[in-house]
Chain A
């Protein structure tokens, strides 16, 4: 794996749970629907592990609630939405992410980037 892709994977690994909580906070979603919402924002998970084990962990930790319902003309799907604990975790996680992002930005801001053509 190229260095850039590897770094991106490592960065995503730490915040993918927040991203999942965020997209399901917009409205209950099943697995593939969450992948679609992430992809629409430019966040493809190629190279990253699947979201399913992560959804399983969120469910086990009580951060999401699930229910089954029919999708648009399709088979019944398992929908996920954040629980109250999940919303709290999302809020805390977003604060941590922003603090970390600002600190890293402060360090990296003076760096002049030259893109080779």
Chain B
């Protein structure tokens, strides 16, 4: 019995429960367990399945009293890392693609114009002869598309930094005792 209360005390201390409140809960619990034992009532009859898990019991009691934040639901615990993993992977992929595009000297962006008459919207290299109504393919070379890749690179670096902050913040904000 006292071992159960001692484990609860350790858990409350670890969770940052103020000493006066921890003392009060420990005293009440010890008194109830002692009275139950004197009447031949098992700890399981008093505590239910919590009798086998003092840490969860202590955390749950403190959370329900509003002394510590409530642990997130199991679904939230699983979903949040998945979202972070996906976001981090996307940012890393974008960084790699942008870096590769910048490092290669090949033309990177091709724009297709449907009519020669519309080609004047972009700086089109002069062509010797284009029959009206035919399709022309306009290739924009590296120097034209580079800003897009630099923007991608910048966004990827910012996204990776944000992902790193989310990971570290999530790790710190997880309530102690949640082992997953």
Provide the main secondary structure of the chain B interface.
helix
CB neighbours of B96 from chain A (8 A) = none
B24 at the interface (CB under 8 A from A): yes
Contact with B along A47-75 (1 / 0, CB 8 A): 11110111011011000000000010011
Contact A45 B48, CB 8 Å, known A31-B28, A31-B32:
yes
Q: Which of B59-67, B101-109, B129-137, B141-149 faces chain A?
A: B59-67
For the side of the interface on A, what is the size category? Answer: 20 to 34
CB neighbours of A8 from chain B (8 A) = none
Contact of B65 among A39, A50, A59 (CB under 8 A): A59
Contact A46 B44, CB 8 Å, known A53-B64, A59-B65, A75-B27:
yes
In the complex the two chains form, is B36's CB within 8 Å of A48's CB? Answer: no
Closest Cβ–Cβ distance, residue A51 to chain B (whole Å): 8
In the complex the two chains form, is B28's CB within 8 Å of A30's CB? Answer: yes
Given the complex of chains A and B, what is the CA–CA distance between A39 and B27 in angstroms? 23
- The size of the chain B interface, using a CB distance under 8 A, is 26
Q: Which A residues between 19 and 35 are near B, CB-CB below 8 angstroms?
A: 30-32, 35
In the complex the two chains form, is A48's CB within 8 Å of B48's CB? Answer: yes
Given the complex of chains A and B, what is the CA–CA distance between A74 and B49 in angstroms? 27
In the complex the two chains form, is B65's CB within 8 Å of A32's CB? Answer: no
Closest Cβ–Cβ distance, residue A108 to chain B (whole Å): 27
A37 at the interface (CB under 8 A from B): no
Contact with B along A1-44 (1 / 0, CB 8 A): 00000000000000000000000000000111001000100001
Contact of A53 among B36, B46, B61 (CB under 8 A): B61
CB neighbours of A54 from chain B (8 A) = 64
User: With contacts A48-B48, A56-B66, A75-B31 known, what are 18 further pairs, Cβ within 8 A?
Assistant: A31-B29, A31-B32, A32-B32, A45-B45, A45-B46, A46-B44, A50-B50, A50-B61, A52-B25, A52-B29, A52-B57, A53-B61, A56-B64, A56-B65, A59-B65, A74-B35, A75-B27, A77-B31
